[in-house]
Structure 1
Amino acid sequence: MSEAVSPSSATTRRAVTRINAAFADAGVAGQLHALDIDSGASVSVAATQLTPTSSLHKVCLLVTLYREAAAGRLDRTRQIDIPAGERTPGLAGLAVMRDAVRMSLRDLATLVVAVSDNAAADILWRAVGFDAVNRTMAELGLTDTVAVHDMAAIRDALRAQPNLTDPAAFADISVLNPALTNRSTARQMAELFAAVWRDEVCSGETAEELRALLGLQAWTHRMASGFPFDDVRVSGKTATLPTLRHEAGVIEYPDGGRYAVAVFTRAASTASVLPAADAVIGTAARIAVDALRSP
């Protein structure tokens, strides 16, 4: 493994300037925290600003699942019977399956990461519990990372707003207000991923399984787009709400370099398809990691 070297203040300043310019060019306001998992060196842009996390909070849920399993308080292989038609709606996974299903908790977790399965996530929310998730985040020192809503509640809050194309209406939507919904900061989400990779959540086979799980995400249009190399591994989880696009994860280089990165963005446009807002997550992450890898 190559020795991690902290970037100079000039290198960090240049990276922050380039990241802010990239955010502006993409039409978004952004927050970023990139952390060298081994040296602790970091690059930050507005990284302590509280932001709604939506699906990104599924990572907190899965971290708690595996931490509870490692402590012997929960069996991640426990089978759950899931009747047809009694599932949180969504665009993939269990929500679109027509028949009854029987799955283990850890296989539900696989769907949660791979296709951001809302139905699978809500089954896990019931099995693990909000109290356990929030307690785990507090134990890890992530006191700004708080769970309030499951995915069904987030969906219901959005459906209650008839006009999601009017920015003025967003002020009334609870799940877009970090004081009222699942929330965290870019710094703490990066620190959470770093804790998983440092075996601070759990260790041994359980930790290896959790890291492998977090590498199964199907979506490559955000953070992974900044690292188009066969020998660089990107693990992570996205989140999307009206105007909000996030991703947090870990970038692993073949020389042993490991970097936890979280990028949060809010677009000025309410359009649901904004390729530039997706792509800038990868661009910003790459600039930050390049700065961390710079002598």
Structure 2
Amino acid sequence: MADFKIKDLAILTGIKAHTIRMWEKRYGLLEPERTSTKIRSYCDQDLVRLLNVAILYENGVKISHIAQLSEAEIIEKVKKIYDVDGSSSAVVSLLVQSMINVDCQSFERILNKAITKEGFETVYRNYMITFLERIGVLWMVGTISPLQEHFVSNIIRQKLIVEIDRLPMVKKRRVDAVLFTPEGEFHEISLLFYQYILKKRGFRTLYLGVSLPITNLKNHLSIIHPKNIVVSLVSGMSKDQYRSFIDQLLVEVNLPSFLGGSIVDKFGLPEHDIIFPVKDWIGE
């Protein structure tokens, strides 16, 4: 059982911390434990309840009415919103619930239904990015367990690989882009999505996966002869390490390079005529 702080609930539900406090005080919506220093502490059940409340609230149900409902009535209304009304606003919250409960069948059912309804690219851009951002923050600080993070990451990774495999082979003589993560970077989901988008748009790609030493790439450039480089940087780098990686990329590879990921968002890109944000190629 996890021990969530109020800021964790705010990240996972999208409800601001001061709103959660107000709902507790005015409606008794949650009854958290408190530490000896009066800091609120929430359990898995508190998080799941608030996720369901958020779904109802975002779909126009007044909080004063929600507070009067039993747990079973809340769940029934959430089920109706998702199953009958076809609400898309519930997708991220329900995915988070499935992750907390380590419920593989529920997670896949929600994801598959959204993909069937809206298409894979739309689902990834509209839901998966938000979901991964929410759990990524908490995984980094240890609130979400590695088991929960690995459970959902591997399902998403499998979905991406299946969607990539469904795309027709691109028949071009020259490789448009080589895709990889730097040495020591093992987060692959964003890179797989870049691969999916580029292949879907008719570019020929060479997917080299995670933790590739730049020197190794340099030694094979004359054989591969790619036009561009695409790199995903998600975690495990200080600002100095990030800058050092870019410097090495410029010296040893010296090709137009498209960079994306939370490290790029955090530290920004240097001004250089062959370094670009990956969104310039694949879109937002």
Q: Between Structure 1 and Structure 2, which shows a larger proportion of helix residues?
A: 2
Greater strand percent: which structure? Answer: 1
TM-score normalized with structure 1 length:
0.25
**Greater RCO, CA 8 A, separation 6+:** 1
TM-score (norm 2): 0.26
Give 1 or 2 for the bigger CA radius of gyration. 2
